[in-house]
Amino acid sequence: MSSSLTIVMYHYVRPLGRSRFPAIKGLDLALFDEQLEYLARHYCVVGVDVVLEALETGAALPRRAALLTFDDGYLDHYTYVFPRLAARGWSGAFFPPASSAIDRKVLDANKVHFVLASTADLDSIIGLIERSCREEGGADLAACREKYWKPGVYDDARVNYVKRMLQVGLPEDLRTKLAGQLFARYVSADETAFAEELYANVEQLRHMVGAGMHVGSHGDRHRWLSSLGADEQKAELEGSLRLLRAVGAPADRHTLCYPYGDYDGRTLELAAACGFKAGFTTKVALAQVDAAHRWVLPRLDTNDLPKSRDAAGDDWVRRM
């Protein structure tokens, strides 16, 4: 028995080649199936209830315990992930933003993803971003180019620059405006219809909760929490609770997955005050399930683990 936990993070999970956007940076469904087999061979998959019990009572976790988490509330999770987990008797943790599930708003982050999956015309996108920045101000372009024009983990320098400028480099109002313009130009002028196609709805999430899945918070509007003042942070966290109430998530088991993995000390205080029991980050590490780490549980990305059922246990397995 142990207090060590492998938490795996997923986003898009779909049959990419048969989807409308095969270039989206997601996990192909066939590889997800392979990874589930790998996890079944090398880990004991547990649900959030087991993790919270360990946090509350100090109870040990099973050896090589793993928790599977799914961010952003995609319809992928209801259509493809949920049935596969249920068939294995596993409980996953799903974190939808309230605004996408209830209000059917497409998240700015998703607008950027689908713009980049729809066009290779990066010169025009960069031109619009930089022209708008010069005209409306709010960011030092030379400093932004120096900071963001470099390869990311999965992107070349130009793509990474577009993502970073539209995710964090520009003031929020300008980011939102540009993401909306680009989305309407390259993807869809009907945001509500696209949201219906992209995100699970309240009824579907309620069905998942009823079948033993965990639904937690991913914010109300999926904002960068550390960029907000205390009142705005509180509103973002409290606003997310409307979704948890709507889907029937048990009030004594509310959890919070920080949008973009972003938080500060104020966030942690507000999370406790709002009744959340644990917080999930995007830091890459094995989690220690104890009181000291309750609000900053790290996660591995799906790409950190093998996607072959026959793969030998990797270094992450050996560390447990």
| Residue 247 phi, psi (nearest 5) | -95, 0
Contact 23, 257 (CB under 8 A): no
Pair 38, 9 in one domain: yes
How many domains does the structure of the chain reveal?
2
Pair 207, 308 in one domain: yes
Pair 183, 205 in one domain: no
Strand-strand pairing, 279-280 and 65-71:
unpaired
Pair 248, 273 in one domain: yes
Residue 1 has pLDDT above 90, yes or no: no
Pair 296, 239 in one domain: yes
> Measuring CA to CA, which residue among 265, 305, 269, 270 is closest to residue 284?
305
Pair 206, 311 in one domain: yes
Instruction: Give the pair of three-digit tokens for residue 317.
Output: 């397995």
pLDDT digits (tens, 9 = 90+) for 53-98: 999 999 999 999 999 999 999 999 999 999 999 999 999 999 999 9
> Measuring CA to CA, which residue among 256, 257, 245, 259 is closest to residue 209?
245
Q: Domain of 283? A: 4-104+199-319
Entry pTM: 0.96
Pair 220, 123 in one domain: no
Average pLDDT over residues 89-112: 97
pLDDT digits (tens, 9 = 90+) for 159-202: 999 999 999 999 999 999 999 999 999 999 999 999 999 999 99
